[in-house]
Amino acid sequence: MHLTFYSDYALRILMYLAVAGDRQVPAREIAERYRLSFDHIAKIVQFLGREGFVKTSRGRGGGMRLARPPAEISIGDVLRRAEAGSGPVECLRDGTVTCVIAPVCGLSPLMAEAQEAFFSTLDARSLADTLPRAGALRRRLGLAA
């Protein structure tokens, strides 16, 4: 299973917020620390807010923080939502299926089962599980201890 950059960045944002403490973190700060496009980060932050993973506020002193403790944020849930509509093979993705064997193919149910097993494994893991070295991560991202 290959994750999109969108999902990768969503998880990185959540990890950043988890080690940043309870302060409001501006999207620009995260983009700079990860050396990623601010526009990409801003778009993903909107998604994370809409899905209830982060709380956002605008204006001076605005930013975001986790909406729930890291132990209550399922990695599987984040990825299911971020990867919605994308699958490992064409017939499991949103949109028109052009594969000529799709109506009789036995590959799609196998891939759907494998995809579900992937997500099910991650359903049992939380954002807290991604932080066994939170202190080292904080230092690596230039955050105060």
pLDDT tens for each residue of 2-19: 788 999 999 999 999 999
Tens digits of per-residue pLDDT, 52-110?
999 998 888 789 999 999 999 999 999 999 988 776 666 776 778 777 877 888 888 88
Q: Name residues whose C-beta falls within 8 Å of residue 33's C-beta, 6 or more positions apart in sequence.
A: 16, 141, 142
Residue 90 in domain = yes
How far, in Å, CA of 63 to CA of 46, rounded? 11
Q: Are 10 and 43 in contact (CB under 8 A)?
A: no
Give exposure, 36-66, as e/b (b: 16+ Cβ within 10 Å): beeeebeebbebbeeeebbebeeeeeebbbb
Tens digits of per-residue pLDDT, 22-43?
899 999 999 999 999 999 999 9
Report pLDDT for 83.
85
How far, in Å, CA of 30 to CA of 74, rounded? 21
Residue with tokens 């930013």: 63
**What's the domain range around 67?**
5-140
Q: How many structural domains does the chain have?
A: 1
Helix axes 5-20, 27-34, angle to 10 degrees: 110
Report pLDDT for 90.
67
Tens digits of per-residue pLDDT, 118-131?
889 999 999 999 99
Secondary structure class of 108 (helix, strand, coil):
helix
* Residue 91 token pair: 């017939």
Residue 26 is part of a domain; what is its CATH number?
Answer: 1.10.10.10
3-state helix, strand, coil in the chain (%, to 5): 55, 10, 35
How far, in Å, CA of 103 to CA of 64, rounded? 45
Residue 145 in domain = no
